[in-house]
Structure 1
Amino acid sequence: MAVPKRRTSRANTRHRRAQWKATAPTLTPCPCPRRETVVPHRACPHCGLYQGRQILDVP
């Protein structure tokens, strides 16, 4: 198993970690008339629709 000879410097560590970026989740409009944005492949929490079918009972 390979073992590093030297400790990675703080600058190199931070330079490497700076490339990790958080991305905003992809949102798609719900097919209901309100056009709420929802995460893909999930039922709409506002109306309970999934692919045009009523899945959840939302009051």
Structure 2
Amino acid sequence: MAVPKRKTSKARRDKRRSAVWKLEAPAMSKCDNCGAYKAPHKVCKNCGFYKGVEVLKIDAE
């Protein structure tokens, strides 16, 4: 069985673990029709358009 020759220091151990805790902002793109921010490759929840075609009927309130 493989056994480490030296103890892994706290700094080296914590550097390796630090990448897990990073948070990224979700990717957002502007809707071509209304200009609202939406997730890429998804239908706009504000106006119901996707790639210039109306996919959902959104009632104006």
Q: Same fold (TM over 0.5)?
A: yes
AA of the residue aligned to 1:42 = K
How big is the shift at 1:16? 2.0
How big is the shift at 1:15? 2.9
The alignment of Structure 1 onto Structure 2 pairs a total of residues equal to 54
Q: Deviations over 1:28-54 (max 9, x none)?
A: 110123x10111000000100000100
Identity across the alignment (%): 27
How big is the shift at 1:4? 6.6
Gaps of at least 5 residues in structure 1 are none
Report the Cα distance in structure 1 between the residues aligned to 2:48 and 2:41, rounded to whole angstroms. Answer: 12
Pick the structure with more helix per residue. Answer: 2
Runs of 4+ in structure 1 deviating by more than 4 angstroms, as ranges, are: 3-6
- What TM-score do the two structures reach when normalised by structure 1? 0.68
Name the structure 1 match of 2:26: 25
- What TM-score do the two structures reach when normalised by structure 2? 0.66
RMSD across aligned positions (CA): 2.4
Gaps of at least 5 residues in structure 2 are none
1:1-59 matches, within 5 Å, as 5=3, 11=10, 12=13, 14-20=14-20, 21-33=22-34, 35-59=35-59
